[in-house]
Structure 1
Amino acid sequence: MSSETLGYPPFDTVKPVAEGIWIVDAKPIHVMGIALPVRMTVVRLSSGDVWLCSPTRFSPELSARLAEIGPVRHLVAPSLGHWTFMEEWQKHYPEATTWAVPKLRDRRQVKASALRLDHDLGDTPPEAWAGDLRQMIVRGGGGFREAAFYHAASRTAVLTDLVSNLEPERVTKATRAYARLTGTRAPNGSTPNYLRVALRLRKRDAAEAGARLIDWAPERVIFAHGRWFEDDGTRRLKQALGWLLDQG
């Protein structure tokens, strides 16, 4: 299987999800010998500003397509791992505000980079998008933090690593083995086993966060790795997080 056919092409292009929300699928990223499909979420806020969650690789062509939606004003790092492409976006959009989960600014790799982090995310959305998105921080042990969002107008939940749903035909042989070992194989998907360990260290907090995600009653659930839930989102999310919802 050619690396050009992995993941969810066409790559680095804006794909509509519903009114006011899009995704961008990028070529897989390589982490410890596996190739993971990766995805960015794009929201046009009621102000007209564009909000990018988990920015993928920058390209002038992608930037031009985003300009058709509106001005990019917010760059969001929703987890401790999804920040590495943000520095390039920041260079091209110096006027954009950068948001990050708590503790990201404390990581050695971030301190060694040129990335500017303007604000930490919390459980209450900032004024800039309070009218468009709900949000909360999912907390686990070992410093695990992931920001979860809900775009009410389209009934779309936006996650990052909390759920993965890796389709065997879309990934390499090594990644298929990873999906089996981590419990993230499609069609059901789930939380990778290594993240479950961190979440169980704060199981009550994590279970409450999981229950709140279900209470949002999303029709769609977008996440960074694998086939996202395009419909029947609440039921499928409840199934994917069943292990967590029983922890409370």
Structure 2
Amino acid sequence: MASEPDVTYPPVDVLKPVAENVWIVDSGPQQAAGLSLPVRMTVVRLPSGDVWLHSPTRFIPELRREIETIGPIRHIVAPSIAHWTHLKEWQKACPAAIISAAPGLRDRAQVKAAGLRLDRDLGVAPPPEWAEVFEQTIVPGGAGFREVAFFHRPTRTLILTDLIQNLEPDKLPFGTRVFAKVTGVQAPDGKAPAYLRLVVRMHRREARRAVSRIIARAPIRVIFSHGKWFDRDGTEELRRAFRWLLK
């Protein structure tokens, strides 16, 4: 009997350097709505020496200790209304960390029921703790959708969450492979899944302006939460991935 494919990007749950002061942590598989997905956290060391976690993956004590070798964890970011599953575990393990959330996350019934502490909502202007290195842009949509995109100026690295997914078919079990094909997020032509494109189009004008600003920053690389991220030709990949919104 054939074994299930490995949807993840080994080694998992360890720091992997991307650029100066930027790392990723590949993890998973994340089970969601019957799907088995690879999932990714981005880790940045700020000029202060503090560490910033974007969309935390599952909490593992050894991973926390590894991260703390590069600096104290002082900021944990929930960048969209969907990416908060592992936040409480990290919050408990890192009580000094400030939890910053996408607009609207605190209003979700599941978040309220979980008793999750959110210290502040993110806006257009970055908080002073990371304004020196990050620009942030809110990409809006209907049904309360908001995703905050982060551009790391020193390395020209763009950090997204779900606005691009790029799932490699040969790494996916059958059901998730069908999902990737049907929703249009199959590599190498990754983009936002069909349901998210529909939601974003409900605020098309504002979303187009936001994405145009992001592309104008000319990122070299684009990191996102699910699938094979773009380690080169970032600006060109962005234009391709968002042609559904920009055309």
The interval holding the TM-score normalised by the smaller chain is over 0.9
**Cα distance in 2 between the residues matched to 1:135 and 1:36:** 26
Whether the aligned pair in 2 keeps the contact of 1:188 and 1:236 (CA below 8 Å) is no
Count of residues in correspondence between the two structures: 246
Q: Is the 8 A contact 1:8 1:170 kept in 2?
A: no
Residue 190 of structure 2: aligned partner: 189
Please name the residue that 1:211 is paired with.
Answer: 212
Number of the residue aligned with 2:62: 61
CA offset at residue 215 of structure 1?
0.5
Q: CA deviation at 1:4?
A: 7.8
> Is the 8 Å Cα contact of residues 16 and 25 (structure 2) preserved in structure 1?
yes
After the TM superposition, list the runs of 4 or more consecutive aligned residues in structure 1 that deviate by more than 3 angstroms. Answer: 1-4
Q: Point out where structure 2 has 5 or more consecutive residues left out of the alignment.
A: none
* Residue 171 of structure 1: how far off its partner (Å): 1.5
Task: Give the corresponding residue for 1:47.
Answer: 48
- The alignment status of 1:80 with 2:76, answered yes or no, reads no
Distance 1:83 1:169 in 2: 28
Q: Could you give the per-residue CA deviations for residues 53-86 of structure 1, whole angstroms, max 9, x where no partner exists?
A: 0000011110111011100000000011100101
> Secondary structure at 1:191's aligned position in 2?
coil
Residue aligned with 1:89, SS: helix
Work out whether residues 99 and 118 of structure 1, in 8 Å CA contact, stay in contact via their aligned partners in 2: yes
Q: Counterparts of 1:234-245 in structure 2 under 5 Å?
A: 234-245=235-246
- Secondary structure of 1:204's partner? helix
Deviations 1:197-222 (A, max 9, x none): 11111100011111111101000000
Tell me if the contact between 1:12 and 1:25 (Cα under 8 Å) persists in the aligned partners. Answer: yes
Q: Partners in 2 of 1:170 and 1:37 — Cα distance?
A: 9
Counterpart for residue 143 of structure 1: 144
Q: CA deviation at 1:227?
A: 0.2
Map of 2:160 onto structure 1: 159
Deviations 1:79-120 (A, max 9, x none): 111001010000011110000011100000000112100000
Distance 1:70 1:218 in 2: 26
Shift, 1:34, TM fit = 1.0
Corresponding residue for residue 135 of structure 2:
134
Distance 1:27 1:242 in 2: 29
Q: What SS does structure 2 have at the residue aligned with 1:30? A: strand
Distance 1:109 1:38 in 2: 20
Secondary structure in structure 1 of the residue aligned to 2:30: strand
Hey, what's the Cα distance between the residues in 1 that align with 2:107 and 2:18? 34
Q: What is residue 99 of structure 2 aligned with on the other side?
A: 98
Contact 2:5 2:171 in 1 (8 A): no
Question: Residues of 1 paired with 2:210 and 2:4: CA distance?
Answer: 36
Q: Over aligned residue pairs, what C-alpha RMSD do you find? A: 1.1
Partner of 2:170: 169
Which range moved further: 19-28 or 1-10?
1-10
Letter in 1 for 2:17: P
In 1, the alpha carbon distance for the partners of 2:95 and 2:82 equals 22
Aligned to 2:232: 231
State the distance in 1 between where 2:214 and 2:244 align: 14
Q: Counterpart amino acid of 1:110? A: V
**CA deviation after TM superposition for structure 1 residue 6, in Å:** 2.1
Conserved in 2, the CA contact under 8 Å of 1:75 and 1:98?
Answer: yes
Partner of 1:9: 10
